[in-house]
Amino acid sequence: MWDSTKINNKPDINFKGHSPQSEVWAVAVASNGTTVVSGTNNGEILKWEADFTAGTGTQVGNPFDAGDLEVVGALTFRPNTSDTQFLSGHGAGMMLMWDANDPSKPPSEFSHENSHVVNSIAITSDGKTAASASLDMTVLVWDLDHGTHLDPLRHKDMVWRVAIRDDNKLASVSQDGTVRLWSLPGGESRKTFSVNNGSMGVAFVDSSTVVFTGDGTSPSVEFRDLKPWPWP
């Protein structure tokens, strides 16, 4: 973990506790800036507390047990819950919502109803709506309080990442070489534009700019101006 206010090539904190044979595939930091959850390719999820003064990362409590679900493809804390809940994406098309303070409490389940990995989750700032991206070529938009979702938002190939703007606008990037823009909560399609078909990341920089990245072989970053486009 790095302190972003410093120019330093070395991390300020190392977190050690996952099994040596595992690979860390997902990390999320709570709004307090010190609580962290991390997940591995074998389904293990650990919670940590970071202390920048001491330069230590301490595991807190027991692991979160996802049962037979392997692969943690995504993690994110749920906004507007005082960091007491977080969501995880897994293989078998599953998304789980956890009590961050009680690993023994069974998580709420949300299913893409397929065998593919949920590899990205984004949540609106009010904490009520989530979007999950899957290798099944869809994005599902969820009502987190009721466990229901809209009809799938579809791409033509695997969906790598989703991002949600503060005003509930959604972006998704896919292996099909497109970034698609949607309005929430209804999921209306607003714009599709072509990008490098190796693009695997997407984020909103501000209210008028979206950024997406290349894959590992083409580490480019591109910006698109949203101002000229209809975006009700």
Tens-digit pLDDT profile for residues 11-49: 788 888 888 888 999 999 999 999 999 999 999 999 999
Q: Looking at residue 215, what is its pLDDT? A: 61
Residue 214 confidence (pLDDT)? 65
Residue 97 is predicted with a pLDDT of 98
pLDDT at 9: 67
Residues of the chain with pLDDT below 70 are 7-9, 196-198, 214-219, 228-232
pTM above 0.85, yes or no: yes
Q: Specify the residue for token string 């910006």.
A: 223
